[in-house]
Amino acid sequence: MTKIEIAAPVAVQTVASHPAQPQEPKDGARALSESFAGLSPAQRIARLRQMIPGKITFTTGFGLEGQVILHWIAEGGHDIDVVTLDTGRLFPETYELWAETERRYGRTIRAIYPQNAGLEQLITQHGINGFYESRETRVACCHVRKVEPLNRALDGAQAWITGLRGDQSAHRSELSIVTLDATRHLLKLNPLFDWTREAVADFAAVNDVPINPLHAQGFVSIGCAPCTRAISPGEPERAGRWWWETEDKKECGLHLPRA
């Protein structure tokens, strides 16, 4: 247990106060990731809750992975803040699933919305669908609707739980079960990092976890409605996100490395 009891949030806090030792928190996250490798995702969540004395936040977009993680949090009775970012451009099916999920697990999912001033300025400058014009305008939209709200969602948290899987994209394969968000000064747990989509889907089916009906229509990775399409057989999992862009690392900015 000595490796696990690295007091991760305390170590992370030393990044700002002791810049001469920037590697220590990263080394701690790496050791923690190795110690979590032999645990199931549900056990990883429980172990993190045991280790972290303060606030843990789980952010969900109601995708397949998020639904399964929420199932484990609810079934385990864990004191973990469950948050979603309502961009204002989600599919109707996503809002319906949101309500169904709250009924299924008997808990309210906290919603964070874009700041009015930033959103109004964005639309005034680029138009309601300006994100189709260039990658720069799309990234600006993601920043206003997702990245800035995420920063508020994680305010005060010592650890962050996400639904990332390593096989979702080349970029995400470079991550691990536990990583360090050095700018936000918190640990990031990806409990499903080493699971396949098929394994997640099988678990959801066996345990009657509510999922988005759009998955059955080819929508594998579901985000904002204007920026998501169904994929064809053989296409990469995230090919349906921002499909008009050609970059390999198509991310909204939530999970990019932060210096």
C-alpha dihedral over 252, 166, 94, 124, to 10 degrees? 0
Neighbours of 216 (CB within 10 A): 8
Residues 82-101 as b or e (16 or more Cβ within 10 Å = b): bbbbbbebbbebbeebbeeb
Query: Among this protein's residues, is 227 annotated catalytic?
Result: no
- The pair of structure tokens assigned to 62 is 């109601």
Give how far Cα 118 sits from Cα of 99, 133, 152, 155, Å.
Answer: 27, 19, 14, 19
C-alpha dihedral over 69, 71, 75, 76, to 10 degrees? 10
Catalytic residue among 141, 224, 227, 252: 252
Closest CA to 120 of 137, 141, 95, 136: 141
Could you list the active site residues? 252
